Chain A
């Protein structure tokens, strides 16, 4: 069954890095948004299985978007991809119920591993 992936990042390069890491041999449907607000709107309409979310973005930050996403679906699987490596940031996103946090720059393997774990977790629920 096709899984929907939403990638929210203001950087085209960062979105491309995630897209490149997603295995082509599996049925994934990819969607993109370039800021938190667009990401939130797409989350509502697409209802993705997994969301990759940056934190430092214009219009609406990733923190705000994550908070809103969790209000819509507290079980939403969100993988945060961020350059903000402060301990308090990790604590904040963990408290908001993020599935996993990956530090930028991230490798293809890290992205694949996080996605695989998220999908497995979803299927086991």
Chain B
């Protein structure tokens, strides 16, 4: 999908951001491997900058899911402010729960219903992925962000029910697509970072500073 917002960052700036996200996903994968106890195979992340009104079409094209979506929402506040949404298909969410080690699963089933367990698992994984990515971008911007607790707002969500914040006309949306492969199971997730247009100037300036050290002016 080609976005009319593609020109916000040039190819070099996108490459720099991709490398930062690659490092962040590496950190997230290590944390997930600790939590789930399974090896995570990392894939090259894909970055798109979308206009708010393009998000719905993008998700429809990328996630072919009739059973709905699960979303984990978390807000971050610093010099750069925004919201992060991790979107998983309903099937991917269900697969995540099956990845938990057997013994741990058995113990948790005694305390939680399957729906609760699924929600807890997806929320924690969302928290790890969002935290790793946003913190890495904040580090890069020499910023410090605080987070609101992650909130599970999924459950039979459709593409039409995405949080309105994503569609705020004063925002731009950075979409980070990656596939986390857990021991031969592909689980696709989309991370949407929604920021104000003011933040893009911060981001561009920081990338410019970052690129200077490699001789790019």
Contact = CB atoms under 8 A, between A and B. Distances in A.
14 contacts: A10-B44, A11-B18, A11-B19, A12-B12, A13-B16, A20-B214, A20-B215, A55-B42, A57-B44, A83-B24, A83-B27, A84-B30, A89-B39, A104-B26
A19 to B, nearest CB: 8
B182 to A, nearest CB: 12
Contacts of A55: 42
Given A83-B23, A86-B40, 11 more contacts: A13-B15, A14-B19, A56-B22, A56-B43, A58-B44, A83-B22, A83-B24, A83-B25, A83-B26, A84-B29, A89-B39
Contacts of A57: 44
B2 interface: no
B214 A16 contact: yes
Does more than half of chain A's interface fall in helix, strand or loop, or is it mixed? loop
Contact of B39 (A12, A16, A86, A105): A86
B15 A12 contact: yes
B23 A13 contact: no
Interface string A1-31: 0000000001111101100100000000000
Nearest to A10: B44
Contacts of A12: 12, 15
Nearest to B26: A83
Contact of B26 (A13, A58, A85): A85
A88 interface: yes
A51 interface: no
B184 to A, nearest CB: 14
Nearest to B23: A83
Contacts of B116: none
Interface in A40-94: 55-58, 82-89
Contacts of A86: 29-30, 33, 39-40
- In the A-B complex, the 10 residue pairs with the smallest Cβ-Cβ separation, listed nearest first, are A83-B26, A16-B214, A83-B23, A11-B19, A88-B39, A85-B30, A56-B42, A84-B26, A86-B33, A13-B19
Nearest to B44: A58
B211 interface: yes
Contacts of A82: 26
Contacts of B26: 56, 82-85, 104
Contact of A105 (B12, B23, B40, B42): B23
Nearest to B213: A20
A4 B50 CA distance: 42
Nearest to B33: A86
A7 to B, nearest CB: 13
Given A56-B43, A83-B22, A88-B33, A13 B214 contact: yes
A16 B40 CA distance: 28
A11 B210 CA distance: 14
A58 to B, nearest CB: 5
Nearest to A108: B213
B13 to A, nearest CB: 10
Contacts of B25: 83
